[in-house]
Structure 1
Amino acid sequence: MLPSVVPSRRRSIAAGALFGTAVLVAALAAGPAMADVEEPPVAVIDGLIDTSDLNALGLPQAENAETVTIFSPGDDDLKFNHGTVLMPFKGKLYAQWQSSERDEDAPETIVRYSVSDQNGDNWSDPLDLTAPRTDGYTSNGGWWTDGETLVAYLNVWPADLSPRGGYTLYVSSTDGINWTDPAPVTDQNGEPVLGIIEQDVKALPSGRVLTAFHVQPGLQVKPYYTDDPLGVTGWTQGEFENQEYLPGEMSRELEPSWHVQEDGDVVMTFRDQGGSSMFKLAAVSEDDGETWSRSAVTDIPDSRTKQSAGNLPDGTAYLAGSLTGTKTRHPLVVVLSADGESFTDGFVLRDSEDLQPLRYEGKSKNLGYSYQKSVVWGEYLYVSYGTNKEDVEYTRVPLDDISMRDVPSAAERPAVEGGGGSLSVSWTAPADSGDAEISGYVIEATSRSGRTSTVEVAGDAMSTTLAGVRPGRYSVTVTAVNAYGSGESSVPSDWVTVTGKH
């Protein structure tokens, strides 16, 4: 149960917020004509993000956030480390990333992984999942598991393929130590998927597995889904019309992540590689990923990098990333939405002042918390990334601190009067209604012998009468309900006698 007090995350938005509607409209006007695309399915509320605040984007610090370094290279180690992805498996936490000597996507690039103990604080030395190729290189494609088998996706980039693109292999393990030989990820016809998988494989509420591939020729992003629980066969391309960026080479949409809205629709959020607005793109599916709207420009700032979206166990939607509106990849923030449509709150997980210095130079190495991905494990949301593309790290935050679907707190102890065959009950509203208004109350009277009598009333009621109650001694509780569920029951009332006499 969530705390009954109003959490500190409930911050008010100043009327003069710097990131208001006028700024958004002006920025969007510089991008593509909105008439050519669908209405954006997600938005941030005015004033939530202050892009003039280069340290924290105007967001409060997540007080209980913890950062852990999985691997930090020394002078004798591979110094380029990027694309950190986490996955819980059989009580342990696994981290995967790509490594090279100093440059991004260098010929010697390999995929590595490390394993934690049960709390995710202590990590093994890096282990190699691949060896350097002579015909290109391999980058990491993330994880998936059905609970019994752990799958590691491997993105192969042939050196002689033009335009630049690739295909996806996988290896699997039942113990996290011994791995199968690489095999192709296949589509619904049993053919290899000729595309680079996004490091964002997750299951829909239906159990269907959803992600995206950047398919040949070049890198044309397409949503893909499969009903194979292991996520290695049966991948089917969803119907999605790309916006052009580099015709025949690269779509405007790249490197998406996704979350589910309160009504069950799925929203996929994209890096906008070809637009001039520096805002994220988003598309929506109403049929579990089979068909998609065209992508639309949102008002969520982009930084030309990956992001990570998802849902907390209570359904709260989140989007983690560097929402700077520039190519700067710090700070690291998470924004939150109760309904998956309007992001109304957020935190900074690591601000710019917390960023360690770059220690080793290399091609495409720059400051920042790059290529964020996330997973829920236990009581935490883990957001992983490569800091400065050299340190493999994550930041975790307690789920209770970021839930946006709070149920009401407990009502105060009710006052009860007994009668011949009824109980008259009155109460006051809880101090905290949660993240939706109180829609009703459940009043339950329980006798000493365990007999119960229950009545439900509307959310604006402060009293009621339980009629037809059998004789006995009763104690009464009141429970407030909102759109997200029932809160904690009140402290039981004093014992009251129903005599049965009229």
Structure 2
Amino acid sequence: MWPYMKKIASRGLGYRLFSGWRVPGNICTVCLCVCFTFQIAMAQQGSNSPAAKGLSLEIPGLPANRSEIIWDRLPLLKSERITVFEGKENESAFCHHASIFYYKDRFFAAWSNGNKDEDFSGQRVMYATSKDGHQWSKAINMTGSTPEMAYTPSGFWVHDGDLYALAGFQNSRASTLTSDRDELNIYRWNRGKSAFEYSAVIAKDFLGMEGPRQTPDGQWLMFGRPADKSLPHANRFAKGGKSAVNDWTIKPLPNDKVEHDIFWYTLPNGKLMSVEGTGDAPDRHLVSMYSSDNGNSWSDPVPSDFPDADSRINGLKLSNGIYVLLNNPSLSRYRIPLSISLSKDGEKFDHMANIRIEQTNKKYSGHAKAPGYQYMRAIEHAGKLWIIYSVNKENVEITTVSLDEIKRFYATDQIYENRKPAAEIIIDNNEKGFETNSPWPTDTVAGFFKGVRMGYHGHNYAYMKNSSASTDNWAKWTPKIATPGVYAVYMKWPTRSFGSNGSMADVAPIEIRYPGGVHRSSVDESRYGGSWIYLGSFPMNAGNGSYVKIYAGKNVTTVADAVKFVKN
């Protein structure tokens, strides 16, 4: 019946679905009618046509071409960092989609977890608790694991005084199942047992992006999508949940080009505004939609000049009246930095700072793994903003920022210093200052990302294929520094495939020598080709005593293109 229902939905008709309660273990199954209405009729507009100009980023001096922003020129807010969970190789190495909540007397954190790869067979939802937000319990498997299927967390929800955790359940990547299964489950917190227990399926063909939040009319609202993003009207929102946990009306958004990673808040005028991303690098930006009827319908998206790196975004209104927007703003698609933007009215954001900007080290290979601070979610509690995110899709961390620090920063007159760097040195692979300890061939082939050529610097690039484990092949860039100081270091490589000669190195070891030490890290050359990727900032003396070195990996192809040293 389910494929038939999908066919009906694609023709623009409404339908009502029924499912049953599913109880784990040897507990009897109690049949319950779980119903919701999917309305394919396009969400009404008219009264929701926005009068405001929409979301904007207005900081004096900020380059109109957002790709020219030098992100380490933004201030770094004072914060505290907390580790919730660290993944282990081939056991729990994939961690992502983190969410955080405070209920009664403790914090709750949940995240998706897999042995190695994102959304592969057996992916589960893990959770941990903490009384103070600093010391976290051992991670517990909330959902269990199902072959050929994957669970993904969808936030938390308090309904009639009970705490629920939400988890999407869908076919895993590379699944051999012949039919799709796509549902949103809830798990009730059993306070006596200090554990989440399966409760019900509350929706089908809908995976929530965050837990439901209440609108002024007392109903609940959440955004989401089906597992199959190619379905007509794939971006959807659900309204309801007041009379029963499974009572939802699901409608499509008026524009299918916006992404599904959406958050919303209430503006001072009482309207609701949602924020979401659209477009591809290097032109990706945030857009906003408006609702004047408590989220029952939404306007067409209003474009903005707010840059975004194609990652999950989040925002909220703080108790002090300041609106917060969290995202990865780099148009290189690199999920560094994690930045915070502030606004008085929720639309015009006139302050922006970094929360995390230091280069991260991806430890393990895996499908869709990438460096950076990703898919953030945040809550306010006890005078602090608690921001949870995954690091490299391997660890789960929290950064806290006090509301006093946010208020202090917002009281300053921020001006972006849009000036040329005091010094800039670029060393290409065929220029003086570049060397290798063995022959590295050169090539000029470069690939595309969503139709945009992701090329190299200069005339070509060098590469090393399938370096053996016993061979210490490296390439090195040594700048001649005229003016001592702190230099931001960037690396560039192209996007391309080497086919049978080995994939691009996704954990390519690098070494940065500077006065007083050596910084060891890695870069993911399987992603972010064609962009200058920030590696960190380091003090450098005059002369040629500093360098950047990359090592060729085993059974992969490592590229050596160009390195840039910038004194700001």
The alpha carbon displacement at 1:221 in A equals 1.4
Partner of residue 213 from structure 2, selected from 187, 199, 202: 202
Cα contact 1:49–1:59 (8 A) shared by 2: no
CA distance in 1, matches of 2:177, 2:280: 22
SS at match of 2:303: strand
Change (3 A) 1:387 1:163: farther
SS at match of 2:261: strand
CA distance in 2, matches of 1:103, 1:168: 22
CA distance in 2, matches of 1:301, 1:369: 16
Identify unmatched segments of 5+ residues in structure 1: 1-36, 186-191, 245-251, 407-431, 435-502
Cα contact 2:290–2:298 (8 A) shared by 1: yes
Give a deviation string over 1:202-242, Cα, whole Å, max 9, x none: 33355432220203653611122225288x33222356312
Give a deviation string over 1:228-260, Cα, whole Å, max 9, x none: 288x3322235631234xxxxxxx422111122
What does residue 334 of structure 1 align with? 340
Partner of residue 181 from structure 1, selected from 175, 190, 198: 198
Q: Residue 368 of structure 1 aligns to which amino acid in structure 2?
A: G
Cα contact 1:281–1:298 (8 A) shared by 2: yes
Q: Residue 184 of structure 2 aligns to which amino acid in structure 1?
A: T
Larger CA deviation: 320-329 vs 221-230? 221-230
What does residue 144 of structure 1 align with? 157
Partner of residue 356 from structure 1, selected from 336, 346, 360: 360
Q: Residue 60 of structure 1 aligns to which amino acid in structure 2?
A: P
1:109 aligns with 2:115: no
Structure 1 or 2, whichever has the larger Rg, is: 1
Give a deviation string over 1:154-210, Cα, whole Å, max 9, x none: 11112467898832111111417233334111xxxxxx3321111253333554322
Cα contact 2:221–2:239 (8 A) shared by 1: yes
Q: Tell me the TM-score normalized by structure 1.
A: 0.64
1:67 aligns with 2:45: no
Partner of residue 378 from structure 2, selected from 347, 355, 374: 374
1:234 aligns with 2:238: no
Partner of residue 388 from structure 1, selected from 381, 392, 403: 392
CA distance in 2, matches of 1:313, 1:195: 31
CA distance in 1, matches of 2:211, 2:68: 29
Larger CA deviation: 96-105 vs 147-156? 147-156
The alpha carbon displacement at 1:341 in A equals 1.4
Change (3 A) 1:209 1:405: farther
What does residue 87 of structure 1 align with? 101
Partner of residue 288 from structure 2, selected from 265, 279, 282: 282
Cα contact 2:120–2:148 (8 A) shared by 1: no
Cα contact 2:209–2:260 (8 A) shared by 1: no
Q: Tell me the TM-score normalized by structure 2.
A: 0.57
What does residue 442 of structure 1 align with? none
CA distance in 2, matches of 1:211, 1:404: 32
Change (3 A) 1:163 1:400: farther
SS at match of 2:84: strand
Cα contact 1:238–1:292 (8 A) shared by 2: no
What does residue 126 of structure 1 align with? 139
The alpha carbon displacement at 1:77 in A equals 4.0
Change (3 A) 1:67 1:54: farther
Cα contact 1:165–1:215 (8 A) shared by 2: no
Instruction: Give the number of aligned pairs.
Output: 355
SS at match of 2:198: coil
Partner of residue 100 from structure 1, selected from 104, 114, 117: 114
Change (3 A) 1:264 1:378: same
Cα contact 1:316–1:405 (8 A) shared by 2: no
What does residue 307 of structure 2 align with? 301
Partner of residue 168 from structure 1, selected from 184, 189, 203: 184
Q: Residue 181 of structure 1 aligns to which amino acid in structure 2?
A: Y
Partner of residue 229 from structure 2, selected from 210, 218, 223: 218
CA distance in 1, matches of 2:398, 2:62: 23
What does residue 402 of structure 1 align with? 406
Cα contact 1:48–1:59 (8 A) shared by 2: no
CA distance in 1, matches of 2:98, 2:61: 28
Cα contact 2:157–2:213 (8 A) shared by 1: yes
CA distance in 2, matches of 1:433, 1:397: 17
CA distance in 1, matches of 2:369, 2:412: 47
Q: Residue 218 of structure 1 aligns to which amino acid in structure 2?
A: K
CA distance in 2, matches of 1:92, 1:279: 36
Change (3 A) 1:166 1:89: same
1:325 aligns with 2:341: no
SS at match of 2:289: strand
SS at match of 1:254: coil
Cα contact 1:239–1:290 (8 A) shared by 2: no
Give a deviation string over 1:421-459, Cα, whole Å, max 9, x none: xxxxxxxxxxx999xxxxxxxxxxxxxxxxxxxxxxxxx
Partner of residue 58 from structure 1, selected from 60, 73, 76: 73
Give a deviation string over 1:268-325, Cα, whole Å, max 9, x none: 1113256862111221111110110011221111111100011111332111011112
CA distance in 1, matches of 2:62, 2:199: 44
What does residue 318 of structure 2 align with? 312
Partner of residue 58 from structure 2, selected from 28, 34, 45: 45
